[in-house]
Chain A
Amino acid sequence: MRLPHGEVKTPVYMPVGTKGAMKGVTYQEMDDLGCKLLLANTYHLAYKPGGDLLEKVGGLHNFVNWKNNILTDSGGFQMVSMSQLSEVTEEGVTFESPYDRSKMHLRPEDSIHTQNQIGADIIMALDDVVKTATAGLRMQEASERTTRWLDRDIAAHKRKHDQNLFPIVQGGVDSKLREQSLNDLIQREANGYAIGGLAGGEDKADFWKTVVQCTTKLPKNKPRYLMGVGYPVDIVVCSCLGVDMFDCVFSTRTARFGTAFTEHGFLKLKNNEIANVFEPIQKGCQCQACKNYTQSYLHYLIAKEEVACHLISIHNLNYLIQLMLNLHQSIIDGKLTGFVNGFLKNWYQREGKIPQWVIEALEYARLPIEQL
């Protein structure tokens, strides 16, 4: 992808810096990891420091001193997940601010206006967000309303020359609603498309089939962004199914609880058996944590000093960034099958078995998978 603040190799994992900061990790460290695109959250930034102030200082890039690309989401998901939701009408969403309990009203025009002020390279259309498991009329209503709001988002968008507006495909796991949403969105030409409404606890079979339905239909020459997905297995599989962009807070959130990503799965550094493991989290990893410390030291440090959490966050971010870069390279080199098989073999080594949904999904993608 060529974006206003530089080129981004895909598939790409986008770290989440919700309020204009990655917890414990400076933007300079993010740059050092090779991160070219990260997320910020309109919902939170609209409250603090506010869209007007960000506009005055020249946008979020200037405010946080980040020279690479930024994607902002619309705030729709946070409204549903964080606020006392009062009402969704055709006009917009009325909700109670979790900061000061004041009543707030967000229309598509407001979300786009704030995102214009923030100045991200990719911005998201405001969507009518419902839980993935929602079925029936409410899901249909949300899906159809998202399309109508998209038209308002497009009309309100004042920076078409340097900010790419991505619509969000909805419909939950209902294939008919998804199809309708896809048809509607593709008619409104965009520079990229997001797949929303998944990663909400749905059955994995429904998950991957819905992803396929979307990636099959969406334009091949436009990036596809699967929102809220960031488990290593999920992003490898979905990359093979045609997804280009991913985001998830899991990598840093779990790091703050002492869990690190490794090629063999999750490593809980707080466990007692780690106390005497004098190896890095992941051999060969070039992150600060692995180059300078052992699992043993981090195990003890977690209890004493927050820098341990910073280090594990850096490791997890590096793991995902490198995973995607390696996957990208394997595609270039024509070695994707070998790469994916190697990844799965390591990841599921302890369990001894690759889950059926993974095999089925990759079979669909015509990647022959060797069972363990």
Chain B
Amino acid sequence: MKKSPLFIYTTRMGSYYHLTPFNQQTLNLDTCLLSAGDFLHMENTLKLLQSETNISFRQYINQENKILYMTSIDSYKMKCVEGSSNKDGVKIAQLEGIKPMTNQQYIELAKTINPEMLVSLTEKLEIQAGQKSTKRSSAKSAKFLKESLDQLKDTQISIYGAIQGGLDTVSKIIAAEEQKFAIDYPNFKGFTLFGFNQGSTWQEKEDALSVVQSVFDGYNVQYILAGYGDILSILWGLSWGIEGFEIEEPFRFAQDLKVLLPPKFDAKDSELEQFSDDKINFYELEGKKINYLNFPINSDVKENVPLNPECQCFSCQNHTKLYISHLVECKEMNAQVLLTIHNTYQYQKLQQKLQEMQNKKQLNQWIRWYLQFL
């Protein structure tokens, strides 16, 4: 993985939510989550692209020089992958509805896309899945992982297994153990962890992560957290050794007309010294929330100020709360454009700060300092 933490921004077919290339300019987005379901109906087109043009897939989606991360499960689609009785595949949400897809198709698509990072195909279990279903799904995920590792060994693609099982520690251990064989493969890099949903408690998340990590204790394994990429999960996950995060939150917030207003990121060394350097405990996160603003707001002249006067993002430098609120009231989609830019910028600032704190070996101290303000 290039740098930690790695923020992997979701896209629809390779395009970020509401962001034209012009509006991306100030954001320096360098990652791109690609959902397999977005491309399966384009099989013929992608074949022609390869065989009859000089246009690479990356050029086709205008994501050259970005880290491409391909996965089957995409948090912005509510139910994008379902289980299937077919042991060679799953059912995946595509443009025309839920359709079957084999692992072989998934691997062929990966060869076409040629991402830097590939999460092996997996089934998303039903919430109340019983032990038998869980074991069957785990076995399938392991099988898919092995096939990916074998068939893509001559490519530059780094393969990540998919650990399902919700937050049930037994299911998590089963999933982890089933995929432990992957450690011996040179193109295996780690696991994407699914099921760490927002609704569960931090203790449950801590327990689930701990059991997975215990299976791979002593091995050089990278972890990526699947999901929305909310800030608290990032802080917690990074403290616990997770290095990559799928990110949908800034876009989701913008779609819901919410502005992220996190506290300041800068702390003096003297302010950090009082805090422990140990991993963040679950109880330190309980009750914490990130501040945000809901639009529309009152149309008052005093709101003719930036969303955040200290923010250097394009939206805050060029527009005001009053104007954005007007856009929201008029149902103009430019509201989402401007909010996406602001929210994404906040994430980038957070990422920079976390990287800085990791380099200075003050990460957990900084997280504890930051949590004070939430």
Contact = CB atoms under 8 A, between A and B. Distances in A.
A26 B322 contact: no
A49 to B, nearest CB: 5
B51 to A, nearest CB: 11
A89 interface: no
Nearest to A57: B304
B44 interface: yes
B194 interface: no
Contacts of B13: 297, 300-301, 304-305
B62 interface: yes
A311 B95 CA distance: 21
A23 B334 contact: yes
A180 interface: no
A44 B326 CA distance: 11
Contacts of A314: 20
B331 to A, nearest CB: 9
A307 B20 contact: yes
Contacts of B326: 19-20, 48-49, 63
A21 B16 contact: no
Given A53-B301, A56-B301, A276-B48, A21 B334 contact: yes
Interface string B282-320: 000000000000000001010010000000001000111
Given A21-B334, A24-B333, A288-B20, A53 B15 contact: no
Contacts, number: 119
Contacts of A24: 18, 333-334, 337
Contacts of A29: 20, 22-23
A288 B15 CA distance: 13
Interface in B6-38: 11-13, 15-23, 38
A332 B180 CA distance: 74
A65 to B, nearest CB: 5
A23 B333 contact: yes
A322 to B, nearest CB: 17
Interface stretch (B53-61, B133-141, B365-373): B53-61
B46 to A, nearest CB: 10
B190 to A, nearest CB: 29
B18 A310 contact: yes
Interface string A1-45: 000000000000000000111111110110010000000000010
B126 interface: no
A10 B42 CA distance: 44
Interface of A: 19-26, 28-29, 32, 44, 48-50, 53, 56-57, 63-65, 275-276, 278, 288, 291-294, 296-297, 300-301, 303-308, 310-311, 314
6 contacts: A48-B326, A53-B299, A63-B322, A275-B45, A276-B48, A297-B62
Interface of B: 11-13, 15-23, 38, 42, 44-45, 48-49, 52-53, 55, 60-62, 95, 299, 301, 304, 314, 318-320, 322-323, 326-327, 329-330, 332-334, 337-338
